[in-house]
Amino acid sequence: MGEYRKRLRKLQVELVALQRRAIAHDWKVLVIFEGRDASGKDGTIKRLTEHTSPRETRVVALPKPTQREATQWYFERYVPHLPAAQEFVCFNRSWYNRAGVERVMGFCTHDEYEEFMETVPVFEGMLIRSGIRLVKYYLDIDKDEQRKRLEARREDPLKQWKISPIDQSALAHWDAYSAARDAMFERTSTPESPWLVVDANDKKTARLNVIADLLHRLDPKHERAGADPAIVAPYGQGASR
């Protein structure tokens, strides 16, 4: 067994033990994963959840809104997927679509964008005060790495489901996505709900560090050993690409 597999297994064992405590004490855990296209969100979530309890673990990856959902209060379609007591929920993209792809691609109006940016800290504060343990990760990669990963997707017949028109435009809109990301960090990273920025250029290193960081954030008594602050850091303490 290689060093990566050994470290991953150790962290996953610790995560299973943590989940047992979460179930015993009725924790409600919500972990949001955002990031560049091809930044490794799917792989990180897979390693995070592959040995957790399937009964208490859910991964939520919503498709684009239906016509009916487009007329609802923006957060409404996400609310049914929030965790109840004992549940561990991962959002593979979230309401932050509005701050990223919707903003860049013109899928929302300026007023809708501003309404979101002003109200999302309030909404998340309500969730936290209701007892939800909310953690937000943004996986970042550089432009060359994104280009290589997107090309690899197109060439791999097992990854065709990952290809979308939005992915195809990611490189062309690199600077716009960077500006949208920076605005999102600046306006929605709060002391009670900070953004945690992950250097995800190396997929395996990112996965190990996210799990190690999450263990500590869900239970501060847990040692943060193995979580490198050069890889995972709160917004403002690390570099954005």
- Predicted local confidence at residue 92, as pLDDT: 98
pLDDT digits (tens, 9 = 90+) for 182-201: 999 999 999 999 999 999 99
Domain made up of 3-234: CATH architecture: 3-Layer(aba) Sandwich (3.40)
Please give the mean pLDDT across all residues of the chain.
94
The mean pLDDT of 121-145, rounded to a whole number, is: 98
Q: Which residues of 129-156 are buried (b: 16+ CB within 10 A; e: fewer)?
A: eeebbbbbbbbbbeeebbeebbeebeee
Phi, then psi, of 201 in degrees rounded to 5: -60, -35
Whether residue 1 is predicted with pLDDT greater than 90 in this model: the reply is no
Question: How far apart (Å, rounded) are the C-alpha atoms in residues 76 and 177?
Answer: 25
Model confidence at 20: pLDDT above 80: yes
Q: What is the domain partition of the chain in residue ranges?
A: 3-234
Mean pLDDT, to the nearest integer, of 4-15? 96
pLDDT at residue 169 tops 70: yes
pTM across the whole model:
0.95
